[in-house]
Amino acid sequence: MFVKYKMVVLTIAMQKNSETIYFEDLIPRVHFMKLISCSLFNSWDTLKKEGSATLGDKDKDRALSVSKLLPGHYSLERLAKEIDGLFAKYQYKVLQTAINQPVGQLVIRNFGAGEKPIELDRDLANLLGIGRKLLPITFVKWLTSPTTYFIHCDLIDTERNLFNSKRSDVLALFDVKGKPFEKVSYQGSPQQVLRDCSTDEFINSITISVKDENGELFDFKGFPLLFELVKLNFFIYAMSSANLLPPSAPPAENERRIYPSLPETTNAENFRLTEISKIEKEISAKVKHYRLVLKKYKKARKAIHYSVVGLGAITAALSSGAVATSLTGVGIVIGPPVAAIAALSGAVSTGLSVVNKKLERKVNKHSRIHSLAVAKHDSINSSVSQALNDNCVSDMEFQLITREMQKYSQLKETLRSNFAQKQTNPLQPDIEKIRNQTQQEFIKQLAESSTNLN
């Protein structure tokens, strides 16, 4: 028995990402595949929707100045230039940027933040990975745009190929580089590994796609993509025992090329960078969420508080008015309804007082959770900034950041359980008792009115 292999080079040109190419003739089973070269254009949009920014204080200025950024592919240099001149047409030239600083990829300084605050829309803020309101000095640690091209192929055997410890059909990957709409090329090295394939006995098509770290397809706007692949087909022949050659093992170098593995260092760093980016976004979203919830509870508590005070004043005024009018001859007709209204407003005031106490507990709980989220957000940001000083996230730094997120979840659950225990046996208002007291007070006022009239 001996083995013979056949190598075939495929050159594929596409006008659309993730396009399926069909062959005129059937191709025998493919056992291994490798990407030799690839070329494409940086024509996809980092800012997918129109971004905008407003200049001015909504509470003080009658008219706000608005500037917009069109969708497109923005490199770090181009984005810094656009932000520099964002409000130049309004003669506002105190907005300055600097790139590739030790504290972050981009630093934005708004020297007029005290008089003219700047607020970004959601799409532009998400691209920069910051909050919507610019601070006097805003640090952009890294842009949230994709940093790596991942080449996927449907012929890859996902059972035998792992990427970041997960089954994957990734054929190759390379860093995003170059200017917007510039053509970039990838050249595979002779040491590049061969990928195991899983196909039928014959195939008639192949699908190749280019995705980002999150598995989303790049939209290359109709610009061409070119791929050059090499595939290997193995054929096994049987011979009589008299013709067999002495057995020999394949060289260790060939064995490593047949059974490859992705570079661990690059994959580990990409995984850590992706994960800490998700953690930073998650804790930022938590801070924003609990800030809005706390604001709503405070508004509700304030409204209920003033309602209780107002109803209390109305109850006192109506009660004294009912007694005063009942002393007159004509007032005997008006006094009882006024007293009934006073009793009703008193009951409503009592009920709102109970609601106000519950809102007070809600405000206290969410105030502590918000403070916890802000503290952990600052701690995680500090750890991320320190980890990126050398442009590399070590395993120890990654564990420190993830441990901070776990501590936040544990402390939040502890706060919630503590407040839940306090509310297990709350003091419920005795509605029947309040109703009886109101009726007795009303009857007493009517009796006093009748006595005074007599």
Task: Name which of 113, 214, 104, 207 is nearest 154 in CA terms.
Answer: 207
Predicted confidence (pLDDT) at residue 47 exceeds the cutoff of 70: yes
Q: What is the DSSP letter of 103?
A: T
State how far the Cα of 96 lies from the Cα of 109, in Å rounded to an integer.
Answer: 5
Q: What is the pLDDT of residue 246?
A: 46
Spatial contact of 141 and 171, defined as CB atoms under 8 Å apart: no
Q: What is the pLDDT of residues 82-129, one digit of tens each?
A: 888 888 888 888 888 988 877 678 888 888 777 788 889 988 888 888
Query: Residue 150: what pLDDT?
Result: 93
Across 273-297, average pLDDT:
83
Q: Is 337 exposed, middle or buried (0-12, 13-18, 19+ CB in 10 A)?
A: exposed
Query: CB count, 10 Å around CB of 35?
Result: 21
Strands 2-14 and 65-69: unpaired
> Does residue 415 contact residue 292 with C-beta atoms inside 8 Å?
no
Confidence of residue 78 (pLDDT cuts 50, 70, 90): confident
Domain boundaries, the chain: 2-43+146-262, 51-140, 270-453
Beta carbons within 8 Å of 71's beta carbon, 6+ residues apart: 45, 47, 48, 49, 50, 51
Alpha carbon distance 82, 243 (integer Å): 75
Rounded average pLDDT over 300-324: 78
**Residue 297: CA atoms inside 13 Å, Cβ hemisphere, count?**
20
Instruction: Name the phi and psi angles at 74, rounded to 5.
Output: -110, 115
pLDDT computed for residue 334 by the predictor: 66
The alpha carbon of residue 77 and the mean position of all alpha carbons in its chain are separated, in whole angstroms, by: 25
Strand stretches in 154-297, DSSP E: 162-163, 166-167, 170-175, 183-187, 195-196, 202-211, 225-237
Q: Compute the distance between CA of residue 303 and CA of residue 356 in angstroms, rounded to an integer.
A: 9
Q: Could you read off the pLDDT of 176-207 as tens digits, one per residue?
A: 888 888 888 888 887 777 888 888 888 889 99
Q: How many CB atoms lie within 10 A of CB 288?
A: 15
Question: 2-43+146-262: which CATH topology?
Answer: Jelly Rolls (2.60.120)
**Confidence at 209, pLDDT banded by 50, 70, 90:** very high
Q: Which helix (H) or strand (E) holds 58?
A: none
Helices and strands (H, E) in the chain, number of each type: 7, 17
Say what the pTM is. 0.46
Looking at residue 415, its pLDDT comes to 77
Q: Kindly report, residue by residue over 215-273, the tens digit of the pLDDT.
A: 889 988 888 888 888 766 654 444 433 444 444 445 555 444 444 444 444 456 667 77
State the Cα–Cα distance between residues 303 and 355, nearest whole angstrom: 11
Look at 333 and 379; give whichever has higher pLDDT: 379
Query: Tokens 């280019």 belong to which residue?
Result: 210
Greater model confidence, 443 or 162: 162
Per-residue confidence band for 152, with pLDDT thresholds at 50, 70 and 90: very high
Rounded to an integer, what is the distance from CA 400 to the centroid of its chain? 21
